[in-house]
Structure 1
Amino acid sequence: MQHRMKTHPLTEQQINHLLQRAQTGSLATLNADGTPYSTPIHFVYCDHAIFVHGLPKGKKLDNIAHDSRVGFSVCEMDKLLLTPHGKPCDTNTKYESVIISGTAKLVDDIEEKGNVLKKIVEKYTPHLVNNEIPTNMVKGTAVIRIDVTEMTGKYYG
């Protein structure tokens, strides 16, 4: 276990709060040749799962179809922590981060997809929350559910 995970772990409540407020995360999938592929994404966290949306075709979907194992991370940097004497090697960072391992799958159920897309609207464009999402848009949007198998969080500063 990393040293900071032993000395600076986030509580479950702090992890949940970070996942609710963070605007972007990074989704890591595996290419067919086993190399990693990481992409920044918008997301929502609910029911102990991460949900993302996007186009119904693309590399991350191809990768998930090949291997459902994924990684997901979120990090918020607050500020640099400088020493009074200005030693560059003693500079640190005040931050919070969450690292997740899980399995990903496409959500096929139209009702579940619609509910997830509403949660995404609530998070990113709350002023549009009362606007209806057309059924054809729900059907034409890929929604990925990442079921969390392991989740850790840490902080410093």
Structure 2
Amino acid sequence: MKDHQLSEEEITYLLENAASGVLGTSDADGSPYCVPVHFVYLDKKIYIHGLTAGEKTENIQRDPRVCFTVYRMGELLYSAEAKSPCSVNTAYQSVVVKGSAILVDDLQAKREILDAVVKKYTPQLACLSMQETAVMQTAVIVITPAICTGKYYL
């Protein structure tokens, strides 16, 4: 067993509470494309919103395999007597998810996911309704995890 593994509960907590994540896809020539995103974690799936056109959505439509990462960096860990930069470490927690992504087509499902995004990032605006055209013009990506691992160092 690897050292410093997060429990399933700790992984869930980080996915539910991280402010942002990084979505990794493959572009047309197979090169990695990684982009920071806002997201929500609901029912063991990751939901991302964004523009309906662009490299992120084009890459997913071509190849649904994705990687998604969240992390929380804490303080640098070293003693006042440290004699080398190599004796410095970092307190952190991270989660890496490998899985497949698709675009959500169902308008009601998109609305519910976008409502969850609003509640997470701007809860003071959650009582306001979203215009139907805004929902239609927003892409919602759902990632179904196949592998989910977490690590920490304290």
Q: Same fold by TM-score, threshold 0.5 exceeded?
A: yes
SS in 2 for 1:34: coil
In structure 1, C-alpha distance between the alignment counterparts of 2:144 and 2:102, rounded to whole Å: 8
Gaps of 5+ in 1: none
Choose from 124, 129, 133 the match for 1:136. 133
SS in 2 for 1:132: coil
Question: What is the Cα deviation at residue 85 of structure 1?
Answer: 1.2
Q: Aligned residue for 1:156? A: 153
TM-score (norm 2): 0.97
> Percent of aligned positions with the same letter in both sequences?
46
Choose from 81, 88, 94 the match for 2:85. 88
Query: Residue 127 of structure 2 aligns to which amino acid in structure 1?
Result: N
In structure 2, C-alpha distance between the alignment counterparts of 1:102 and 1:6, rounded to whole Å: 21
Question: What is the Cα deviation at residue 135 of structure 1?
Answer: 1.0
SS in 2 for 1:75: strand
Q: Aligned residue for 1:77? A: 73
Residues 14-60 of structure 1, C-alpha deviation per residue, up to 9 Å, x if partnerless?
Answer: 11111111111000000111110000000000111110001110001
Alignment of 1:1-157 (within 5 A): 6-86=2-82, 87-157=84-154
Aligned pairs, number? 153
Query: Residue 65 of structure 1 aligns to which amino acid in structure 2?
Result: Q
SS in 2 for 1:131: coil
TM-score (norm 1): 0.95
Query: Residue 46 of structure 1 aligns to which amino acid in structure 2?
Result: L
Residues 78-123 of structure 1, C-alpha deviation per residue, up to 9 Å, x if partnerless?
Answer: 1100123123111000000000001010000001000000000010
Gaps of 5+ in 2: none
Large movers: runs of 4+ above 2 Å: none
In structure 1, C-alpha distance between the alignment counterparts of 2:55 and 2:6, rounded to whole Å: 32
